[in-house]
Structures are given as structure tokens and as C-alpha cells.
């Protein structure tokens, strides 16, 4: 079992890195092929909706199979979807229809793969004798690290190669993630199946995870926080910051802001991994919410460049600790046999959050102003996060009765 944790985290990082590079390279391939920026948006929407559907459909299936197997199948599917585009480019030539088809196929691998990896973490912790809180903290830290280096790797590849050529590499990265997952012993990811769930048929089985989420006050509150943060961060990263620096004629600073945010996530996750059991859970959670509010508020001012960098780092630090608490809450409060469908429903909803954030940000900026848009999103975060602190279940985080 010594190789279990290293192979788990290696496959997690490689898969996340591949997604990060693809996120940057694919829109460029679409733009260079069709010459229409709107087509890149169409492809993004075409991927997000099926990804949400896949999260709901595949969650219950992930509970019925060994999650290692489900993760491998998802990575192979993603690799094949990305491989289609350069092969078509070499033969009949690419057009918008091919991009949409590949995006839809890839979406049925990305979200289920992410769900399977998240769902197997408690089994990995049990097999290695590690605390789940430590592994979740490490996972959040590695997420921050990947966000830090992913855009840089993508930038180097796109600068050195044709964007369509980069897709050969991203397909290989997805395949490598599948091979690394093979290194995890199958016994380390085995879990107790829910026999009743295996006999459940129809749409009730598909939406069972969503029902579990919405019926639990604790999980419902955590889900609302996660969705709100996803919407707010997407609006700030994908719309507010690029527009601000475009107006300032300083587009080179956009990447540095995202790197500052990623560095904060790396530090927050690392601190939680090291000190989770020494500091009360509620302290971690409350501190994360406050740091996020302070950091997002600092970004919203849109002051000197250094203040935006510092504020993004503070927001990342808060996000790293809060996300770790949210992840641990799902581990502790969702039955092992139902974890796939619950996390699948959660990830399905989170997949739609960026589109809401970026779309909402575009509307607010267009109809009002940039500062008004940032103020609205920060206010939404403050209201939702303050409301969570009055949730009786969340107030008793870490207590057995919670």
C-alpha cells in the first residue's frame, strides 16, 4: 500500500494539469480554425451543459463500480475525445461541428473522472492509515500548485507549437493520468456498495444524489457556499480582471493575478493539511470566509496592481482553507455507498457556475460599470457567507452532533 497515496496524487495532478492546458489551448484552436471568437463561446457552452448532465448520470454508476476503474475509464474517454481533433485536422479538416462533438464527448469523461477521484479519497485514507483531513488539505494544495503552473505550461506549449498540435499532448496527459491510476491497488479503492441503490431504476436513481444534497441542511449550506464561490471567482477571473487590465492597457498582468490566487490556494491547503487537527474546524471555516471577503473586497477596489495581487493571494488563502473544510464535511457526512452520486450532483452544479459568473459579469459590466459588477459579486459572497454562519448545522462543525 506504500504506492497508493503517491499514485493517487500523481494521477490527480496530471489529470488537473491536462484540463488546465486544454482550457487554454482549445479556445485558441477554435479561434484559429474558424476565425470567429463567438465559436469559442459556443464550444464552451456545448461542453458545460453535457458535463452537468454527466455528473448526474454517472454519479450513481460510480457508486456501483470500483472507483479506480471508473476513474480510468473517464480518463481514457477524455484522451480519446481530445485525440479526435488533431486526427480530423490531418484528414478531413476541422470545423465547428467537430469541436462541439469533441467537447460533448470530453465532458462525459471530465466530471465523472473528477467525481471518482474525490469519492475514492476516504478509501485511500483508510488504506494508507492517513487522516482524511490531511489528504484533503494536500489535495487542495496540489490544486493550487497546478493552477499556478498549468497556465505557464500551456503558454509555453502554445508559444512553441501550433495550438492543434498541443491537443496531441493534452490527449497524452489524459492517458498518462489513466496509467497512473492503474498504479493504485484495486483493493485500496474498494468500497461497500448500496444493494438497495443497485436495484433502483429510472430517473429517481439519477437524481438521488441531488435529493440527498438538498435534504441535508449541512450539505445544502456547504453546496450553496461552493456554488456562490464558483460563480464569484469565475466572474472575477474570467471577466472583471481581464476587462480591467485591458482598459488599463496592461493585459500582461492578468496571468499574475491568477498566479497570486493559486499561490494562496496552495498555502491554504498546505496549512490545513499540516494543522487541521490542531485548530477547531469552525475556526478554519470562519477564517476562510473572512479571508475570502477581505481578498475579494480588495480586488473589487481595482486599485494599484500590487494591491490586486495581494488581495488575490488573500482570497486564495481563504478559499484553500474553506474548500478543505467543505470537502471534509462531505467525506464525514455522506455514506460511502452514496458518495459517488452525491459528489456527482455537486460537481454537476459546480460545472455550471463559471458560465453563470462570466455571463452575469458581462451583463453587469455592459449595463452598468466595472466597479458596479465587482461590488455586486462581493456583496453576494458576503451575504451568502454570513448566512452560512447562522446555519445551526454549520455552526457546530466538527462536533459529533453536527
Number of folded domains that form the chain:
2
User: Which of these, 25, 71, 111, 8, lies nearest to 343 by C-alpha position?
Assistant: 111
Query: How far, in Å, CA of 179 to CA of 370, rounded?
Result: 45
Cell numbers given for 73: 475509464
**Ramachandran region of residue 93, left (φ > 0), alpha (ψ -120 to 50) or beta?**
left
Tell me, what's the pLDDT at 316?
92
**Ramachandran region of residue 35, left (φ > 0), alpha (ψ -120 to 50) or beta?**
left
Domain boundary (127, 162, 191) is at 191
Q: Is the whole-model pTM more than 0.75?
A: yes
190 SS3 class: coil
Q: Are 152 and 234 in a shared domain?
A: no
In a domain, 144, yes or no: yes
Mean pLDDT by groups of 10 residues along the chain of 402 residues: 82 88 77 74 74 73 79 90 90 86 82 83 85 87 83 75 85 92 82 50 61 84 90 84 81 78 89 87 90 92 90 93 88 79 83 81 84 90 88 69 48
| Contact of 288 with 268, CB cutoff 8 Å | yes
Q: Are 252 and 226 in a shared domain?
A: yes
302 SS3 class: coil
Q: Are 236 and 144 in a shared domain?
A: no
Query: How far, in Å, CA of 302 to CA of 292, rounded?
Result: 16
Q: Are 42 and 166 in a shared domain?
A: yes
User: Which of these, 327, 316, 260, lies nearest to 288 by C-alpha position?
Assistant: 316
In a domain, 401, yes or no: no
Query: How far, in Å, CA of 358 to CA of 242, rounded?
Result: 11
Domain boundary (191, 208, 237) is at 191
Q: Are 20 and 125 in a shared domain?
A: yes
Domain region containing 116: 1-191
Q: Are 149 and 220 in a shared domain?
A: no
Q: Which residues contact 64 (CB under 8 A, 6 or more apart)?
A: 193, 197, 198
Q: Can you give the CATH number for the domain in which 248 is found?
A: 1.20.1250.20
Q: Which residues contact 266 (CB under 8 A, 6 or more apart)?
A: 141, 144, 145, 148, 316, 320
Tell me, what's the pLDDT at 202?
46
| Contact of 278 with 292, CB cutoff 8 Å | no
Q: Are 183 and 206 in a shared domain?
A: no
Query: How far, in Å, CA of 248 to CA of 284, rounded?
Result: 37
Alpha-carbon distances, residue 171 vs 21, 105, 235, 256 (angstroms): 10, 13, 28, 27
In a domain, 174, yes or no: yes
Tell me, what's the pLDDT at 37?
63
In a domain, 230, yes or no: yes
Q: Are 49 and 181 in a shared domain?
A: yes
Query: How far, in Å, CA of 338 to CA of 353, rounded?
Result: 23
Tell me, what's the pLDDT at 196?
45
Q: Are 93 and 22 in a shared domain?
A: yes
User: Which of these, 187, 76, 82, lies nearest to 127 by C-alpha position?
Assistant: 187
In a domain, 238, yes or no: yes
Q: Are 156 and 217 in a shared domain?
A: no
32 phi and psi angles, rounded to 5 deg? -70, -25
Tell me, what's the pLDDT at 204?
52
Q: Are 147 and 267 in a shared domain?
A: no
Query: How far, in Å, CA of 295 to CA of 378, rounded?
Result: 10
Query: How far, in Å, CA of 257 to CA of 312, rounded?
Result: 6
In a domain, 402, yes or no: no
User: Which of these, 225, 186, 185, lies nearest to 330 by C-alpha position?
Assistant: 225
Q: Are 284 and 375 in a shared domain?
A: yes
Tell me, what's the pLDDT at 380?
93
In a domain, 77, yes or no: yes
In a domain, 350, yes or no: yes
Query: In degrees to the nearest 10, what's the CA dihedral of 139, 339, 331, 234?
Result: 50
Query: How far, in Å, CA of 306 to CA of 329, rounded?
Result: 35
Domain boundary (191, 218, 242) is at 191
Amino acid at each position: 500500500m506504500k504506492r497508493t497515496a503517491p499514485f493517487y496524487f500523481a494521477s490527480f495532478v496530471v489529470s488537473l494539469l491536462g484540463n488546465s492546458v486544454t482550457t487554454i489551448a482549445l479556445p485558441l484552436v477554435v479561434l484559429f480554425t474558424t476565425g470567429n471568437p463567438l465559436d469559442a463561446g459556443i464550444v464552451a457552452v456545448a461542453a458545460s451543459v453535457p458535463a452537468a448532465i454527466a455528473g448526474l448520470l454517472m454519479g450513481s454508476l460510480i457508486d456501483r463500480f470500483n472507483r479506480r476503474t471508473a476513474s480510468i475509464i473517464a480518463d481514457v474517454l477524455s484522451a480519446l475525445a481530445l485525440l479526435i481533433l488533431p486526427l480530423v485536422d490531418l484528414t478531413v479538416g476541422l470545423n465547428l461541428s467537430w469541436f462541439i462533438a469533441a467537447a460533448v464527448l470530453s465532458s462525459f469523461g471530465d466530471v465523472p473522472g473528477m467525481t471518482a477521484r474525490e469519492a475514492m479519497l476516504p478509501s485511500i485514507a483508510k488504506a494508507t492509515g492517513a487522516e482524511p483531513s490531511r489528504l484533503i488539505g494536500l489535495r487542495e494544495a496540489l490544486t493550487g500548485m497546478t493552477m499556478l503552473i498549468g497556465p505557464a505550461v500551456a503558454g509555453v506549449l502554445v508559444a512553441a507549437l501550433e495550438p492543434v498540435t498541443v491537443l496531441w499532448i493534452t490527449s497524452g496527459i489524459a492517458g498518462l493520468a489513466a496509467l497512473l491510476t492503474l498504479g493504485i491497488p484495486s483493493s485500496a479503492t474498494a468500497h461497500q456498495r448500496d444493494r438497495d441503490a443497485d436495484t433502483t431504476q429510472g430517473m429517481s436513481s439519477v437524481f438521488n444524489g441531488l435529493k440527498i444534497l438538498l435534504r441535508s441542511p449541512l450539505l445544502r449550506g456547504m453546496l450553496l457556499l461552493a456554488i456562490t464561490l464558483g460563480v464569484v471567482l469565475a466572474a472575477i477571473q474570467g471577466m472583471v480582471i481581464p476587462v480591467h487590465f485591458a482598459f488599463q492597457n496592461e493585459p500582461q498582468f492578468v496571468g499574475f493575478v491568477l498566479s497570486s490566487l493559486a499561490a494562496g490556494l496552495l498555502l491554504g491547503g498546505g496549512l490545513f493539511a499540516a494543522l487541521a487537527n490542531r485548530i477547531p474546524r469552525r475556526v478554519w471555516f470562519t477564517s476562510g470566509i473572512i479571508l475570502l471577503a477581505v481578498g475579494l473586497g480588495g480586488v473589487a477596489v481595482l486599485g494599484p496592481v500590487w494591491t490586486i495581487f495581494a488581495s488575490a493571494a488573500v482570497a486564495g488563502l481563504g478559499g484553500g482553507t474553506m474548500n478543505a473544510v467543505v470537502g471534509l464535511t462531505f467525506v464525514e457526512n455522506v455514506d460511502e455507498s452514496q458518495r459517488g452520486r452525491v459528489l456527482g450532483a455537486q460537481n454537476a452544479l459546480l460545472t455550471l457556475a463559471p458560465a453563470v459568473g462570466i455571463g452575469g459579469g458581462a451583463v453587469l459590466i455592459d449595463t452598468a460599470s466595472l466597479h458596479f459588477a465587482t461590488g455586486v459579486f462581493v456583496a453576494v459572497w458576503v451575504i451568502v457567507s454570513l448566512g452560512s454562519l447562522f446555519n445551526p448545522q454549520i455552526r457546530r462543525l466538527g462536533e459529533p452532533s453536527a
